[in-house]
Amino acid sequence: MLLFVGLGNPGAEYARNRHNIGFMAVDAIVRRHSFSPWRAKFQGQVCEGTIGDEKIVALKPQTYMNESGRSVAEAARFYKIEPKDVVVFHDELDLDPARIRVKFGGGHAGHNGLRSIGAHIGADYRRVRLGIGHPGSKERVTGWVLGDFAKVDREWLEPLLDDVADASGFLVAGDDTGFMNRVAAKPATDKAPPPKAAPAAPKAAGPEPAAKNAMAETLRRLLAAKKR
């Protein structure tokens, strides 16, 4: 049995935030594999299903991001799931949009959700890092992660979530490399249409045929006059 945890903040006002991409990823998996309906439990929303032959418990903590660990620990204790069998889906500032990495263990890199989970179950769990890009300066980070995805982000976000749902069987099988290879979405910058070629400069207009004939006739007469 595995525990799939999506990180985010509860409430409609946060639903499209970059910080909530973990919720979005788990929602996509639940829909694709026809899990049971969500229900309130473990200070979160929980449902169950199977991927392949493995039972999966999906969890979206409703404690707000910085207290996510309380919900995760409660669910893990109830189902007797070890930290190594917990898979956490979360936003990652240090990856370009649509990039994805799977990592086992490590620090929290300032992510409050990971910090809370580590405090409650330790660091030895798997993380699916979903790139949202960095705004460029530390001062802008809070507004960036709590800001909504832009309309143009749909070009990579929706295919990414579909690929995560399609490839989740690799995670269940413990094949993290296979999962990353299968989720082959490219950054939004790679999907921008190529720039249009500049229009060719108009050709310089040449003399009209009638003007050419008149010039030729004038030159003929001048040459004839010199010969006389």
* Residues marked as catalytic: 19
Q: What's the Cα-to-Cα distance from 76 to each of 19, 84, 90, 164, 176, rounded to whole Å?
A: 23, 11, 18, 23, 21
Number of neighbours of residue 149 by Cβ within 10 angstroms: 17
Between the two ends of the chain, the Cα-to-Cα distance in Å is 112
Q: What's the Cα-to-Cα distance from 42 to each of 6, 55, 69, 146, 172, rounded to whole Å?
A: 14, 18, 11, 25, 22
Number of neighbours of residue 12 by Cβ within 10 angstroms: 6
- Tell which residue, 114, 4, 131, 116, has the closest CA to residue 55: 4
**CA 24, CA 7: separation in Å to the nearest integer?**
9
**CA 97, CA 91: separation in Å to the nearest integer?**
10
Tell me if 30 sits within 8 A of 166, measured CB to CB: no
Helix (H/G/I), strand (E/B), else coil: 3: strand
| Number of residues assigned to the chain | 228
